[in-house]
Each structure stands twice: as C-alpha cells, then as structure tokens.
Chains A and B, each alone.
Chain A
Amino acid sequence: MSPPLIFTGIACGALLAAVGLALWGSPRQVPRLPHVMRAIRWLAGACLLNGTLLAWWGDLGIPPTALSMDGSSGAERQLSRLILMAALAAPPGILGGRHSHSHSRSHWSHIALFLPALVLAGIGLLWAKAPPSADVTSPPVTPVELTILLCAGLGVRALGHCLSELVDAAPQDRAPSLDAAYALLTIVMGSTSLANLCQRGLVWRGTVTESGLAGAWLAWSAAWLGPRQPLWLRVLLTTAASISLTSVALRLT
C-alpha cells in the first residue's frame, strides 16, 4: 500500500472515530467533546494534506511509488485530487476558536461539518482500489487546475457548513468558505474567459473543462444568492454547486 493511501486511511479512520465519539457523547453531554472533535479534524486535515503531497510526489515521477509500479498511477492521481479537496474541507476554521458558536452546536452538527470531507476521502480510497479508467486524464497540475481544486475544496467545506446549519435548523451567516470559493471561481472564470477573448477572439473554446467550469460557476452563482432564501433551498443549491464543481475538478483535462 502506498504512503498516500496510508495517510488517507488514517484520516478516514480519525474522522470515523469522531463520528463514533459524537454518537457516544451525544446522550452524555460530555463538555470537552467539541475540543476533542476539533483536534481530530486537525489531525485528519494534516494527514490528508500529507497524503496529497506524497501523491503529487509520486505523480511527478521522481521516485515511482509501489502503487504506480503496479500500473494504477492514474487512480493515484485522481486520489491526489480527491484528498486535496478533502484536506481543505476537513480541518476546523482558523477563526473557530475566537467565537463561541462552535460550542453551541449539537454533536450531529459537528459531524455534518466534516461529513463531506469524510465522503470524499472514502471515495478516494475506493477509487484507488479501482482499475485505472482510460477516459480520465490527469496531466501535471497547472495553476488554473490547482485553483479549481482549491475552489472545489472550499466548496465542499461550505457544504459541510450548510449541512451543519440544516442539522441545527439555525440559519447563520454565510460561510466564509462559500464566499472564498465563489470569489476564486469568479476570478478563474473571468481571467480564463478574458484570456481566450484576447488570444482567440472567443470567450470559450468549447472544451469539456470550460463548459463544466462555466456550469459549476453558474451553479455557485445560484448558491451565492442563497442567504436570502430558505435554509433547505440554500442547502440544496450549495449541494448542487458543490457536486458540480467537484465533478469538474475531477474531470480536468
């Protein structure tokens, strides 16, 4: 088993342990549990980030890892994309400690915060076991691709925030990650479209990535209009936007 898979496995285990702790602590009202869960999320985030870096190291082909030796390097590249997104979505917010709202959350709400990251990391593990798909292309990561991956990670994070609100049935302010993902996506969309317009005379060349990216950006625009809408609709829009962006990030060509 390759090091990226080991780190992803540890992260998945840690997040599953956090789910278990929440289930155990829910009826007992353990006061320190939110702190423990935050620590677990930091640990999972660090493991996933480590896994991403190691997967990239393998991608660059400097020393081929055991996984790429047995012919599944395509799957490993997809894994690196999935776990980068999960690494951005798993850790708690940097500002979280300054405010009291995280302590007023229910345990289920805490689970909802990192559930999307757990799902992504889990899919990553399953993906790594699957035979490499011929139609999935994974060239080296360019700045635009990396930015789209960052957007997708932040989008998954915003989805966790939204799900947490739904669990608590308590609408809060718009998640900073939603704003960040939308701003970053707008910059990527705007700059690539303007570059195309200057160089080629057309906004879109009609590539798969461009169409997908434009679609994901419009879905995020719909989600960004969300704060004035009912909570269920906001969650629905954020879920649709997040899924579309994640699928585009995985299908980058």
Chain B
Amino acid sequence: MNGIHDMGGMHGMGPVQYEKNEPVFHADWESRVFALTLAMGAWGKWNIDASRHSREVIPPAEYLRMSYYEKWYAGLVGLLINSSLVTRAEVESGVPSPGSAKATPPLTADNIPAMLATRINASRDVKVTPRFQAGQRVRARNMHPVGHTRLPRYARGKVGTIERDHGVFVFPDTNAHFLGEKPQHVYSVRFAARELWGEQAAPRDSVYLAMWDDYLEPA
C-alpha cells in the first residue's frame, strides 16, 4: 500500500536525533509490548509479513505521532482481534469473556532459544527457476498494490542491475494476507543513486534493494 510507512526519499522529517547511551527500552511498557508481540507470534496465527502490515494500516497522522512501541501495541491489538485470539470487548475490559476456555501458552522461558533460532525463517528450500541472472539489467515494476508490499515507491519504474541471487524466499505480498507463500528468488539489485534521485545525487553512489522476482521485469 502507498502508506506513510513507505518513507524513503521523503523530505521534511527533520534531522536525525541521536541519544547517547540509549537504553534498550525507555519504559517498562515498551519492553512488555515487545515481549507480548514475540510471545503471541509463537501461536502461528500470523506471520512476520502480516505483523508488519498490521502497523502499516495505522492511519498516517497517527503513524507519525505514535512512538515505535505504541505502533507495535496498535498492531498487536489488530492481529489479536483479527485472528480471534481475543475479542475487542476483552481488550476494552481487560478480562476474558465469561466462559472462555483457558489455553496453554506455546512459548515458555525454556523454549525461547529454539524460538529465536527459527524466527523469521523466510528462506525456502524448494526448486524455483530464477527469472534473472547476476549482471542482468532489470526494471522494478510500476505497481501500486493496496495491500502489503516490500517494493518501496522510490524504486518503482527504476532500472537497476542484479548483483546477487540470494535464493528462494517467501513472497510478502501474498503471505501478509494469508494467500500463500509463493516462494521465489530474491536478488540484491543495485540502483545508481542518479537513477533514483537525478543529478543531485553523487555520481558513484548507489542504493541496494532486495527484490523478489515478481517485482522485476527485464530492462
């Protein structure tokens, strides 16, 4: 979707604000939202792509106002309700609906190392013919899907060169909407900075994006 989250190349966001000796979390609630999101992910009711999308659908003005973990909270509530793990009434009241069964948590302290060892395992050991080879010129498709995509607006329609084939990965555009993994090759594609931004860019600079087969066409 052409959302506010797709902010590569935007102006007006101000200077980068750096905090020295920054703590990992700035408040207890941030760490709790972080842990709840990972722990609830262990139910397997959604995937990393759906999880990212749950934050992309936050309305733009809210997205810019919210702090990072506030967005995670909003995204998690969306995922919980959509997956029917909780109801909106339960989120609002903070207590389980009368008569609801008690589950057994899939994630316990002792299986955290195993969970982290396979978190975001998006590569797939399946044979899929790559559509492109290293060295080939490609154009990123001019596409504007209303759902989730990992093809940023600033690269659409631009021409680059395949640098490296990383193998076969799950396709986020379908996976985020539970429409299948559609495994396909992912490549590092080099785009000259001037191709993306014009003459203002330094002549030798470049931006590398990871691109799925479905994002590319021969140039």
Whether A and B are associated in the same complex: the answer reads: no
Residues of A at the B interface (CB closer than 8 Å) are none
Residues of B at the A interface (CB closer than 8 Å) are none
